[in-house]
Amino acid sequence: MESMEGWARTWREAVEAWIAADMDREEAPGGRIHEAMRYSLTAGGKRLRPLLVLAAGRYVGIPEVVLRPWALAVEYIHTYSLIHDDLPAMDNDDFRRGRPTSHRVFGEAMAILAGDALLTEAFLCLGAATEAPFLPERILATIRELAWAAGSQGLIAGQVADLGAQLEGATLSTVEAIHARKTGRLITAAVVMPALLAGDQEAQARLRRYGEHFGLAFQIVDDILNVVGDAQRLGKATGSDAALGKVTYPALVGVDQSRRWAEHHRQQALAAVGESREADALRYLLDQAVVRER
């Protein structure tokens, strides 16, 4: 029987190879923008979102290699969001994944443009997926899903709410709404897109519930680690949420209660996809996301 740890390692390496090959094809005059794009894309990381695309593919019977464009697209959008999130006008972070953030290396203007380019590149990946064995209308459905998740009602809405939120007067519903958009929408899109490609409406509903609860559990753990985690293991500064006065679960209810909320959402995500063998990779990634030190 295939171990899920081995599966994740194999396909994480595949994602790294896909990214490298994709960047190798890029040839821009001057080359500086692609250097900045490559810098952030190849900084490491868990590659969680592309792995979620592939795990959801297993769930609906789509081979992993066929989902390469969708795996790359979600990773490009995620990386763009990190570049912009680190900017002085946002979280003003100096380190990401253990090395200086993009704007510290390339300057703010180039970092903004690198993020813009990666966002655009994501949709180029999906628009160019003409050889994929799916009906065109299903591919279009995934483009709409990803655009909605990344746009002004999804990731961007969460970032706007995060910037404007104040601890004074904040409630759990406030922080949940921020997390659901800023983190949860892209994770949800990652797992729903394969079900859209398969035309499986029941799987779409199950995977949407899974993604929503996964996103909340993941971000709660991220907020906990910002309080109690080790900066060297995380590859970024800790204590920054408190310093910026951010609305987080630990700030509102404390670390212990936050852990209970993370476990609640983990259980809800597990219930959404059930115990079938097809869901093994989804369960494995969920456990890895909730029980982690970075």
Task: Retrieve residue 99's tokens.
Answer: 């090395």
pLDDT at 268 over 90: yes
pLDDT at 31 over 80: no
- What burial letters (b/e) apply to 75-110, b meaning 16+ CB within 10 Å? bbbbbbbbbbbbbeeebebeebbebebbbbebeeeb
Q: Is 231 helix (H, G, I), strand (E, B) or coil?
A: helix
Distance in angstroms (rounded) separating the CA atoms of residues 226 and 229:
6
Average model confidence (pLDDT) for the chain?
Answer: 89
pLDDT at 25: 74
Which of 129-138, 142-151, 224-233, 264-273 shows the lowest per-residue confidence on average (mean pLDDT)? 224-233
Q: Give residue-wise pLDDT tens across range 60-105.
A: 999 999 999 999 999 999 999 999 989 888 888 888 877 889 899 8
Distance in angstroms (rounded) separating the CA atoms of residues 215 and 22:
27
Distance in angstroms (rounded) separating the CA atoms of residues 291 and 150:
26
Distance in angstroms (rounded) separating the CA atoms of residues 68 and 21:
12
Task: Retrieve residue 243's tokens.
Answer: 């310093």
Q: Decide: 209 and 272 in contact? Cβ < 8 Å.
A: yes
β-strand partners of 99: 96
Tell me the residue range of the domain where 84 lies. 4-290
Q: Decide: 85 and 99 in contact? Cβ < 8 Å.
A: no
Distance in angstroms (rounded) separating the CA atoms of residues 116 and 250:
32
Task: Retrieve residue 212's tokens.
Answer: 């929503």
CATH number at residue 151: 1.10.600.10
* Band of residue 32 on the pLDDT scale cut at 50, 70, 90: confident
- Number of folded domains in the chain? 1
The H or E element containing residue 95 is strand 95-96
Q: Give residue-wise pLDDT tens across range 37-68.
A: 999 998 878 899 999 999 999 999 999 999 99
Q: Helix 155-164 to helix 136-150 angle, to the nearest 10 degrees? A: 10
Q: Any idea what DSSP says for residue 131? A: T
Q: Decide: 209 and 136 in contact? Cβ < 8 Å.
A: no
Distance in angstroms (rounded) separating the CA atoms of residues 258 and 128:
42
pLDDT at 247: 82
Q: Decide: 291 and 262 in contact? Cβ < 8 Å.
A: no
pLDDT at 147: 97
Distance in angstroms (rounded) separating the CA atoms of residues 275 and 173:
30
CA atoms within 13 A on the CB side of 15: 29
Please give the single-letter amino acid code of residue 199: G
Q: Give residue-wise pLDDT tens across range 169-220.
A: 678 888 999 999 999 999 999 999 999 999 999 999 999 999 999 999 999 9
pLDDT at 26: 61
